[in-house]
Structure 1
Amino acid sequence: MDNTIPLLGLHILLTLSTESGAKLKDYNAFTEHTDALLEKHGLEKVGNTYFLFDNNSFTSAICLKESHICIHTWPEIKSVTLDVYLCNYQKDNTAIVKEIADSLAAYFDATISNKHEILR
C-alpha cells in the first residue's frame, strides 16, 4: 500500500427521500445501474445477495473486492438507506465512494435526509 494514503477508506451512510416509488421496487434496474457504476470505476464484484419483499421493496448487499454497497428500499415511506464503503488498500478511493453515493442518490431522484461520512 502507498503509505501516503492516510485512511483505510471512506464509509458513507445515507438516508434518502424520494417520490420515485417505481425505482424503490425495481431491483433489476438498480442492479443494472450499480453494475454500470462498478464497471466505470473498475471495481470488482465478488458476491451479491438480495431479498425481494412482498411489497416489491428490496434489500441487497453487494460484496466488492474493495468492500461493499448495501441498500434497503422503503416504498411505504418513500425512503432508501444506503451504505457505501471502499477501502484504500491499493489506491485512494475517496472520490469514487463520493461519486457512487451521489450517483445512487441521483438514480433514485432523491434528496438526502441524513448523511454520515466516516473516515476509517
Structure 2
Amino acid sequence: MKALGFHYLIELNNCDPNYLKDAQFLEKLLQKAVKESGATEIGRVFHEFSPHGVSGVVLISESHFSIHTWPEYGYAAVDFFTCSKSVDVQKAISILKKNLDAKSSSFVEIKRGFPET
C-alpha cells in the first residue's frame, strides 16, 4: 500500500545556543528551509519561552515543519511532515544543520497512513 505521508524526526545536537534562543532567527531559518525544500508555506507561529527556548511551526500546503529548542543543552528537535515526496527534506535538514552549527545530527523517516482498501 501507498503511504499517505512521510514524517521525519530530526535530532540536532551541540548547536550554537545563541541561535537556539532567537525566535526571529529560527523563524527566518525555517522559512528558508521550507522554501529551499520546494514546500509551500501557508502560515507560521513561533514562541520564545522564558528563560530560554523556542517552539515554532511553519504550516505548509504539504503539512508542516516544526522546531523545539533547548539552548541550555545545545539541542533542537525538528519534525518535518509531508504528504509529498517532491519536498526535498534532505536539503531542509542540511540548511538547519549548517545554520545552527550542529556538530551532530540524526533523523528517522516514518511512513504514515496506510488506509485500508
TM-score bin (small chain): 0.7 to 0.9
| Per-residue Cα deviation, 1:8-40 (whole angstroms, up to 9, x for no partner) | 333210121124111011111122222223333
CA contact (8 A) 1:9 1:93 kept: no
**Any unmatched runs of 5+ in structure 1?**
1-5
Residue of structure 2 equivalent to 1:3: none
**Any unmatched runs of 5+ in structure 2?**
113-117
List 4+ stretches of structure 1 deviating above 6 A: none
Residue of structure 1 equivalent to 2:96: 104
Count of equivalent residues: 110
> In 2, Cα distance between the equivalents of 1:7 and 1:99?
21
CA contact (8 A) 1:9 1:87 kept: yes
CA contact (8 A) 1:85 1:97 kept: no
Question: Identity rate of aligned residues, in percent?
Answer: 26
Residue of structure 2 equivalent to 1:77: 73
CA RMSD after TM alignment? 1.9
CA contact (8 A) 2:64 2:82 kept: yes
SS at match of 2:17: coil
- Kindly state the Cα deviation for residue 115 of structure 1 after the two structures are TM-superposed: 2.3
| TM norm structure 1 | 0.78
The answer on 1:93 being equivalent to 2:86 is yes
Residue of structure 1 equivalent to 2:40: 44
Aligned mate of 2:8, from 12, 17, 31: 12
